[in-house]
């Protein structure tokens, strides 16, 4: 949900823009044993035919970005390439300022040119107390340009899919990102409530592509900041791949804060944020608005980000024709706009 609030107590946990590093190989060891530049450990699976220290490069990019990280993916269907920070931030979360219970992970990723490569760009942050819980994660399919939010969650709380067990699920958006474009990605995780916020901005146009929040299932987890992972991963759902993608990352940041302010940019379509609650929630037929403003328009989006048709009548929304699931509603009033989540049963 878009927010205009400002956090006065944010703590920077990690910040890497690669400007202080030397152009060339990031490291000298691809077994993940010896740290390279910036304390980054590089790992390239031997199952990939093209694994080498040259897979991980600090390169010059645009004037805006300067130096960036380039990871060359696998030219086959196996062979993960990854960089991570081992043990560098082990104790940081436990010593954060009281009340800074929200962890924000931000980074820039380049969507790349059109390609047939089945590689995916990924970023993971795991729960340190359970190796099988991905607190938050991101994936970008380099061929389709579709992006995926990854989180330890119950699908019923994300896209309305029932009958599934809580686990590490990926939620892929149908709308593809543009090719040859830098995107700013931000994911926030509330360690108390488990709520996840997900935001993407097109850097060239400053347009907010996505700004949503979901209920995750990792409340109370201890993030493993000793293992910040940035990866190029083969798509395991395909049977053939012969093309390796060059995946670019920049401006990797983590911070602990007391309120979500992802990417520190307000939604440019949101002139002012107002507080509006919707009820009943969940609902089976109509959604009403509890507020002091006149509702002039609403827009409803499904879990894939697609706008779905609804009808606003006498300050209540007719949702009887919607499929069961989780939706976002953007409410426009005479005083500003608000975004809320609701469930259709």
Q: Residue 316 forms beta bridges with which residues?
A: 288, 313
- Among the residue ranges 220-224, 326-330, 331-335, the one predicted with the least confidence is 331-335
Is the pLDDT score of 206 beyond 80?
yes
Beta carbons of 148 and 173 less than 8 angstroms apart: yes
Which candidate, 174, 178, 152, places its Cα nearest to that of 165?
152
pLDDT level of residue 234 (50, 70, 90 thresholds): confident
Beta carbons of 245 and 122 less than 8 angstroms apart: no
- At 140 the pLDDT is 97
Which candidate, 184, 174, 114, 169, places its Cα nearest to that of 142?
114
pLDDT level of residue 273 (50, 70, 90 thresholds): low
Cα–Cα distance for residue pair 12/76, rounded to 1 Å? 38
Helix (H, G, I), strand (E, B) or coil at 27: coil
Is the pLDDT score of 279 beyond 80?
yes
Instruction: Give ∠ CA 53-89-203 in degrees, rounded to 5.
Output: 70
306 vs 230, which has greater pLDDT? 230
Which candidate, 76, 64, 7, 95, places its Cα nearest to that of 250?
64
List of domains in the chain: 11-264 (2.60.120.200), 277-344 (2.60.40.10)
pLDDT level of residue 143 (50, 70, 90 thresholds): very high
Beta carbons of 9 and 97 less than 8 angstroms apart: yes
Q: Which two tokens stand for residue 313?
A: 């009548």
Q: Residue 231 forms beta bridges with which residues?
A: 82, 122
Q: What is the pLDDT of residues 180-205, one digit of tens each?
A: 999 999 999 999 999 999 999 999 88
Cα–Cα distance for residue pair 295/291, rounded to 1 Å? 9
Highest mean pLDDT among 31-45, 81-95, 151-165, 260-274: 31-45
pTM of the model: 0.75
Beta carbons of 224 and 93 less than 8 angstroms apart: no
* 69-89: b (≥16 Cβ within 10 Å) or e: bbbbbbbbbebbbbbbbeebb
Left (φ > 0), alpha (ψ -120 to 50) or beta: where does 24 sit? left
Is the pLDDT score of 307 beyond 90?
no
Helix (H, G, I), strand (E, B) or coil at 319: coil
Cα–Cα distance for residue pair 26/156, rounded to 1 Å? 41
Residues 6+ apart with CB under 8 A from 20: 38
Q: Which two tokens stand for residue 52?
A: 């080498």
């Amino acid at each position: 949900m878009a927010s205009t609030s400002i956090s006065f107590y944010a703590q920077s946990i990690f910040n890497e823009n690669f400007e202080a590093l030397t152009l060339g190989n990031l490291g000298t060891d691809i077994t993940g044993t010896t740290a390279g530049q910036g304390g980054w450990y590089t790992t390239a699976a031997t199952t990939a035919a093209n694994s080498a220290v040259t897979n991980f490069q600090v390169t010059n990019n645009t004037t805006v970005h300067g130096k960036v990280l380039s990871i060359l993916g696998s030219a086959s269907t196996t062979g993960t390439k990854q960089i991570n920070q081992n043990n560098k931030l082990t104790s940081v979360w436990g010593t954060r300022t009281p009340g800074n219970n929200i962890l924000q992970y931000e980074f820039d990723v380049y969507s790349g040119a059109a390609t047939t490569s089945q590689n995916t760009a990924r970023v993971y942050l795991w729960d340190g107390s359970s190796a099988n819980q991905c607190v938050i994660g991101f994936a970008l399919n380099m061929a389709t340009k579709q992006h995926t939010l990854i989180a330890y969650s119950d699908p019923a709380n994300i896209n309305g899919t029932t009958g599934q067990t809580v686990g590490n699920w990926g939620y892929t958006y149908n709308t593809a990102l543009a090719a040859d474009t830098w995107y700013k990605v931000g994911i926030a995780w509330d360690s108390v409530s488990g709520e996840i916020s997900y935001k993407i901005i097109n850097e060239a146009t400053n347009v907010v592509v996505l700004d949503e929040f979901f209920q995750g299932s990792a409340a109370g987890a201890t993030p493993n900041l000793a293992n910040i992972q940035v990866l190029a991963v083969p798509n395991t759902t395909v049977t053939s791949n012969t093309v390796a993608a060059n995946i670019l990352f920049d401006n990797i940041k983590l911070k602990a804060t007391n309120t979500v302010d992802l990417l520190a940019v307000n939604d440019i379509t949101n002139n002012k944020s107002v507080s509006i609650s919707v009820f009943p929630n969940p609902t089976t037929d109509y959604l009403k608005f509890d507020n002091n403003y006149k509702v002039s328009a609403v827009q409803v989006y499904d879990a894939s980000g697609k706008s779905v048709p609804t009808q606003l009548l006498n300050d209540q929304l007719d949702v009887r024709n919607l499929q069961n699931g989780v939706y976002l509603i953007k409410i426009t009033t005479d005083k500003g706009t608000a975004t809320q989540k609701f469930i259709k049963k």
